[in-house]
Structure 1
Amino acid sequence: MQFSASAISSLLDHLEERGIECHSLMVVHRGRIIAEGWWAPYSADQPHLLYSLTKSFMSVAVGIAVNDGLLRLDDRVVDILPDHVPDDASEQARALTVQHLLTMTTGHAEDTLGDAWALEPTDLVRGFLRMPVTAASGSHHTYDNSSTFVLARMVERVTGTPLPTLLDERLFAPLGITDIEWDRVGDGAVYGFHGLHLTTESVAAFGELMLRGGAWQGRPILSQDWMAEATRKQVDSRHYSPGAPGVDFHAGYGYQIWSSTYGFHGNGAFGQQCIVVPDQELVVVLTAAHSEVRHAQDVLDAVRCFVVPGVGGARDDDQDAALARRVSELSLPMVEGTLGGASSAICATLDASPSGSALAEGTPVVVEQRAHGWIIRLGLDIEIAVGFDSWRESRPLGRPVVSSGAWQRDTFVADLHLVTSPHRVRLTVRKSTAHLVWVTVPLTTSDLTLHLKSPLMTRPDMA
């Protein structure tokens, strides 16, 4: 079946009109890549933080344990993790099951993550079981990160295997996925509800697996029954951001996977989306840095309005060539300005008073000009190359940073893209004062130093 290139061009136009900062796009129809592109400095070989799209992979981990006969939907948290049960756990908390956690129908009024971790800073499962339950379990859906964290610990307990190892052996290796990274909590455990980094192609392969009912190239990875249950509407849903509009976040929730008006989808903060349209055998993957909650629905609307109608559309050689050129030239804007001509290093001190500051007050900042760019030093440990009218990559503490900069009159400006995530920081230096501010503030920690290390190890306030 043919596919219209103009449909993809219309999608790109729509994303630009909405002001959505995209990092990658892949459209797959009947297992064939129709279009793919990366906005420089993002690239095909670089894993990208998925945030809560990680939850959909957690659904597969639970399915593996269920298919192996090690876990049942009616198994209770307190029976699988008895060493995490507080003495004051309510009867409702003691009755919570795998089914409740998968569908986020635990009876809590709102996301429990922040309060549960505040109650028990070293044991989120215990903190979760101490949280007050305000409605009958199974009665309504409330998006809740703690639920998925508890599921991860249950799967690890019954399988006797760390979650990354289990998914490596049973999911990623069969799909040929090797570039995998996990962010972790302080004791080394993975979050489960967020923190997985994968390439765009790997996410598309996962979408194909869901589309094919748990089979990959004809080989079953997961039972067809489980995948059918995981991807269908199990309960009525409420938006992950309470009160936000969005028809495809109110169309139902399966097992850690959202239903939509035309299929199902996995979703992560700032625009990490895997959209599956079963009727058209279509998978669309987008990684991005949304600045507004509404943009997630904007993307889903655009896929419905532009991409789906492209299935079966007439091919046009000129349109195909134009689209190929366009996707090969995708790029985020570089910092505009001049190279300047400073003959000596510029030394400044960080003013951390702006909201979203990425390092501590008083951090020394040094800018030294080099051929075709600069070297900047942040404190004692971070040294980053910055290109002029070009991108330059550094790995100051392990993870890559790709940067561009310029002088704008008397102010030096640089954008530092943390290309394994949706995030970037902007550095401005004027005279002896510097500011280093997140353009989109990460949900885990604002400390840039931690984001430059692999793996990121922190305890989030939310995700």
Structure 2
Amino acid sequence: MDVKGMGVNGVGVNGVGVKEALPRSTPEDQGIPSRAVLDFVTALEERVDAIHGFVLVRHGHVVAQGSWAPYPLNGPRMVFSLSKSFTSSAVGLAVDQRLLSVDDPVLKFFPDDAPEEVSENLARMRVRHLLTMTTGHAADTAVVRTTGDQNWVRGILAKPVEHEPGTHFLYNSGASYLLSAIVQQVTGSTLLDYLRPRLLEPLGITDATWQTCPRGINTGGWGLTLRVGEIARFGQLYLQQGRWNGEQVIPQEWVAEATSRQVSNDGEPEIDWRQGYGYQFWRCRNGAYRGDGAFGQYCLVMPDQDAVLAMIGGTTHMQGALDLVWEHLLPAMGAEPLPSDDTTRDRLERRLATLSLPEPSGRSTSPTAARVSGQTYRVRIGDHSAEDPVLALRLPVRAAQTIRFDVGAEGECRLRLRDSGGEHEVVGGANQWRAGTTTVVRDDPDPVLVRATWTDDDTCELRICFVRTPFIRTHALKFEGDQVTMTTVDNVLPPPAAVVADLG
């Protein structure tokens, strides 16, 4: 599967494929030189590892968009904590319906889940404190998801509240979960179902999904899946003070409150995570604000420039991407349209249409392939599975008992891992991306693009792109005599231990 050329709209800058509700324009017509966008893209590739896609909007027009193969621009994407800004929007809609107030006590909504002894600080906790991450907790209460308690609300309310609410900022995904639970309590609908007709459908978002807790409450602080163009439209809605196609979708007053600095968080002039916090939105430098999620998911709104930038990525250097916005895009945004620059714009369009993440160098086959194909190797070390204890930000690793490797007639490489739960396979195209699904990470099949490359005569790398996530996993299998060593590397996560297996 050749996925190059999918950099913009699936087929190129002026192609189709992404469901759009925003008109298209050249950068120059909206006061941005194409050279600035080109320089921004180049800088992302050179200095941030890695952004997977972006949509840039100016004056309500999409002026540039692209994605780095193998990631498609129009694919569903896990947005992690960017979910919180949508949770805020739901709270704002419920407040507008007078279903709750930001000054309501949190315990008002959960009388049956309160601890037997309610501390003074817990009694003082208001909805406003959940929104601003000032609940008073000393640690993120989302850890409750790892305790086995089916009732996360009760588990969170049982946590000690060490500080007086409103006096201590702590980023707390458990607070966002409680907001989701409150919305469900007062509306009778899950957060996602409540937002569908009120926010999502007006923006043309029809197939969003959201993870739930064991009791069917949307997780609130994470778990939402969207497309990058949908993220851009959400940002444009907020830039337009909540109005969309002539309708007031989000109350204007809520937009102003949610995106203003409600609390300080130890301001540092060069760090965008230290500019204050609103209602589940971050304040930024340069008068901007954003929602964001782990590993490079951004919805950046720049009111002074009348611009929005949505990005999806797989990076641990999130500040670096914002630094490049301030360096290349923001100073280039002028107040008036610019003269056409067809030469540079054509260069930009060609560049955006051929974006690609770096690919491993190597060959599509090897003399070793025939010798090892069809062989089964027995793992000789212990359990090597691993998972992050709080938000499952680490990709699990199968505790494989055997490893089988097969090479097909066209050079495709099939890796089979057998554990106590059965066999799990992934198939990579011969030095090209191949679409499929796999259960090598979890029991529910994940859509993937997989590429198999022989980096030397004895080593085959299977690069697995989990296209709905930021994650790219590489399994490198080194064959030596009757032994194979499988080394696993994840792009944004700590590497698990190598696995050694013997023939037989």
TM-score by length of 2: 0.81
Structure 1 residue 133, shift from structure 2 partner: 2.1
Counterpart in 2 of 1:317?
342
Structure 1 residue 45, shift from structure 2 partner: 2.4
Counterpart code for 2:101: R
Q: Which residue of 468, 490, 495 maps to 1:420?
A: 468
Q: Which residue of 365, 376, 399 maps to 2:403?
A: 365
C-alpha distance after superposition, 1:348-381 (max 9, x if no partner): 3456649778433334322221214222223244
Counterpart in 2 of 1:391?
433
Q: How many residues end up aligned between the 2 structures? A: 436
Counterpart in 2 of 1:433?
484
Structure 1 residue 80, shift from structure 2 partner: 0.9
Counterpart in 2 of 1:129?
157
Counterpart in 2 of 1:110?
139
* Aligned mates of 2:485, 2:404 — CA distance in 1: 9
Q: CA 1:106/1:174 → structure 2, altered by over 3 Å: closer, same or farther?
A: same
Q: CA 1:353/1:246 → structure 2, altered by over 3 Å: closer, same or farther?
A: farther
* Aligned mates of 2:449, 2:458 — CA distance in 1: 23
C-alpha distance after superposition, 1:85-138 (max 9, x if no partner): 111231211221110100011122232322x45667222222222222222211
Counterpart in 2 of 1:208?
236
Counterpart in 2 of 1:257?
281
User: Gaps (5+ residues) in structure 2?
Assistant: 1-29, 387-393, 439-443, 497-504
Q: Which residue of 425, 450, 459 maps to 1:411?
A: 459
Contact 1:358 1:437 in 2 (8 A): no
Q: CA 1:321/1:415 → structure 2, altered by over 3 Å: closer, same or farther?
A: same
Contact 1:52 1:268 in 2 (8 A): yes
* Aligned mates of 2:233, 2:278 — CA distance in 1: 20
Q: CA 1:250/1:120 → structure 2, altered by over 3 Å: closer, same or farther?
A: same
Structure 1 residue 245, shift from structure 2 partner: 9.2
Are 1:100 and 2:124 counterparts? no
Contact 2:385 2:399 in 1 (8 A): no
State the identity as a percent.
34
Q: Rg larger in 1 or in 2?
A: 2
Counterpart code for 2:412: G
User: Gaps (5+ residues) in structure 1?
Assistant: 447-463
* Aligned mates of 1:179, 1:231 — CA distance in 2: 26
Counterpart code for 1:208: Q
Counterpart code for 1:91: E
* Aligned mates of 1:26, 1:125 — CA distance in 2: 37
* Aligned mates of 2:158, 2:39 — CA distance in 1: 50
Contact 2:384 2:397 in 1 (8 A): no
Q: CA 1:348/1:16 → structure 2, altered by over 3 Å: closer, same or farther?
A: same
Secondary structure of the 1:156 match is helix
Moved more, 188-197 or 354-363: 354-363
Counterpart in 1 of 2:449?
402
Secondary structure of the 1:84 match is coil
Q: Which residue of 196, 203, 213 maps to 1:168?
A: 196
Q: CA 1:21/1:187 → structure 2, altered by over 3 Å: closer, same or farther?
A: same
* Aligned mates of 2:106, 2:208 — CA distance in 1: 29
Q: CA 1:124/1:39 → structure 2, altered by over 3 Å: closer, same or farther?
A: same
Moved more, 125-134 or 73-82: 125-134
Counterpart code for 2:459: T
Q: Which residue of 60, 63, 70 maps to 1:41?
A: 70
Structure 1 residue 198, shift from structure 2 partner: 0.5
Contact 1:53 1:272 in 2 (8 A): yes
Counterpart in 2 of 1:279?
304
Q: Which residue of 355, 370, 374 maps to 2:413?
A: 374
